């Protein structure tokens, strides 16, 4: 994993909660930890209460010694193994992984109230649980949805049928154990549906009025691509100030870029959008029982360059069966795995730039905006 002192020696900024006249801060960190049943880590946290013209602010962060023991260099990929968590069997363990990863964040996760922090953790857990159940048919140019919930509109794309629950429609489109069928998606659109489902499940509890607006909007037009990012997501990190390459919080969306210019021209293979499931695993929307490790994802993307071909229409394609065979063969050669990972586990270059030194690791992570009445920064466009 590429690193330097500016990354591995980052101080934790953790979680920063602001106070407003409507939302008072809790008395201390113990009250917050009690909400998540994490009082046992209180001795490993530092806290700071500050006051300025905007009011009071409480910041909590994991002490440097605990970070070094649990996630050296802010690499959270082994956090569940280190802490002996089973996030699939025990939902409380998923909450623990989410909050501990946030408490060691090198950039502060800011919230206008404790309630927003609680909702943010729940949304992340919703996303992980939905992503684990998601299985789709990959296609770069075709798309399908359950006809009892969705209608195709030539002007805007798929909208939900009037009177249909958005949560039900998203669940049926992505979870074959509910719908009994697989539907075709690109990985980018799939990630949007999983994110939207996790957000919608929290909205219906904490802000039903906003949920109703969201449902009504989706019956008129979907929000997608760049607009989806602007409306629903926050982003941490940048090309100039990247997040540590191994720092992920369950529920993050991230992009693995294809650093090979030739194969990146094949439609759908510019890169891969994934959700971080925790436990060092990333979504595999096409085979949910085989989620990716970071190594597996890097090897797959690397071998796209070795499986490029022209179809009968002269279009560039990737032979995914060949990719699978190449990855399988590479895994039997430890030296070759190490060579490829040294290349791929570098930060990606900016879009449009391809160099021999560019890897596939993004510098940013994306996650949901605030959702509570009075503090939400998730603002829907007008119908």
pLDDT tens, position by position, for the chain (383 residues)?
Answer: 443 434 445 689 999 999 877 788 876 778 899 999 999 999 999 999 988 888 889 999 999 999 999 999 999 999 999 999 999 999 999 999 999 999 999 999 999 999 999 999 999 999 999 999 999 987 655 678 999 999 999 999 999 999 999 999 999 999 999 999 999 888 899 999 999 999 999 999 999 999 999 999 999 999 999 999 999 999 999 999 999 999 999 999 999 999 999 999 998 899 999 999 999 999 999 999 999 999 999 999 999 999 999 999 999 999 999 999 999 999 999 999 999 999 999 999 998 999 988 899 999 999 999 999 999 999 999 87
Residue 113: predicted pLDDT: 93
Residue 7: predicted pLDDT: 43
Residue 3: predicted pLDDT: 39
Residue 359: predicted pLDDT: 95
Strand runs labelled E in the chain: 15-18, 45-52, 55-62, 109-111, 137-138, 150-153, 157-160, 184-185, 233-236, 253-257, 271-278, 281-282, 292-293, 308-310, 316-318, 365-368
Residue 356: predicted pLDDT: 86
Residue 31: predicted pLDDT: 87
Q: How far apart are CA 165 and CA 371, in angstroms?
A: 19
DSSP secondary structure string, 120-147? HHHHHHHHHHHHHH---EE-SS-----T
**86: buried, middle or exposed (CB in 10 Å: 19+, 13-18, 0-12)?**
exposed
Residue 142: predicted pLDDT: 65
């Amino acid at each position: 994993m590429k690193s330097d002192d500016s990354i591995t020696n980052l101080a934790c900024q953790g979680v920063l909660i602001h106070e407003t006249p409507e939302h008072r801060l809790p008395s201390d960190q113990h009250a917050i930890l009690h909400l998540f049943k994490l009082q046992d880590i209180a001795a490993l946290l530092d806290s700071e209460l500050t006051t300025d013209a905007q009011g009071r602010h409480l910041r909590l962060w994991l002490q440097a010694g605990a970070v070094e023991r649990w996630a050296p260099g802010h690499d959270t990929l082994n956090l569940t193994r280190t802490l002996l968590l089973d996030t699939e069997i025990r939902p409380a363990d998923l909450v623990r992984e989410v909050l501990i990863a946030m408490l060691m964040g090198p950039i502060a996760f800011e919230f206008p109230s404790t309630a927003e922090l609680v909702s943010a953790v729940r949304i992340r857990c919703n996303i992980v649980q939905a992503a684990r159940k998601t299985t789709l048919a990959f296609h770069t140019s075709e798309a399908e949805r359950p006809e009892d919930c969705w209608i195709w509109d030539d002007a805007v794309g798929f909208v939900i049928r009037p009177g249909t629950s958005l949560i039900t429609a998203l669940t049926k489109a992505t979870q074959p154990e509910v719908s009994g069928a697989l539907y075709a998606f690109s990985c980018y659109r799939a990630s949007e549906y999983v994110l939207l489902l996790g957000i919608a499940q929290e909205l219906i509890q904490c802000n039903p009025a906003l949920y109703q607006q969201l449902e009504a909007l989706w019956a008129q037009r979907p929000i997608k691509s760049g607009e989806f990012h602007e409306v629903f997501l926050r982003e941490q990190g940048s090309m100039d100030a990247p997040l540590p390459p191994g720092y992920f919080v369950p529920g993050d969306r991230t992009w693995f870029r294809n650093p090979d210019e030739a194969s990146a021209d094949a439609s759908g293979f510019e890169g891969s959008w994934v959700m971080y499931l925790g436990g060092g695993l990333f979504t595999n929307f096409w085979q949910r029982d085989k989620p990716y490790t970071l190594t597996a994802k890097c090897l797959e993307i690397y071998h796209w360059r070795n499986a490029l071909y022209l179809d009968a229409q002269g279009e560039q394609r990737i032979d995914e069966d060949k990719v699978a065979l190449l990855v399988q063969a590479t895994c039997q050669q430890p030296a070759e795995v190490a060579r490829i990972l040294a290349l791929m586990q570098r930060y990606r270059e900016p879009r449009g730039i391809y160099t021999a030194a560019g890897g596939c690791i993004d510098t940013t992570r994306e996650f949901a905006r605030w959702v509570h009445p009075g503090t939400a920064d998730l603002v829907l466009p007008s119908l």
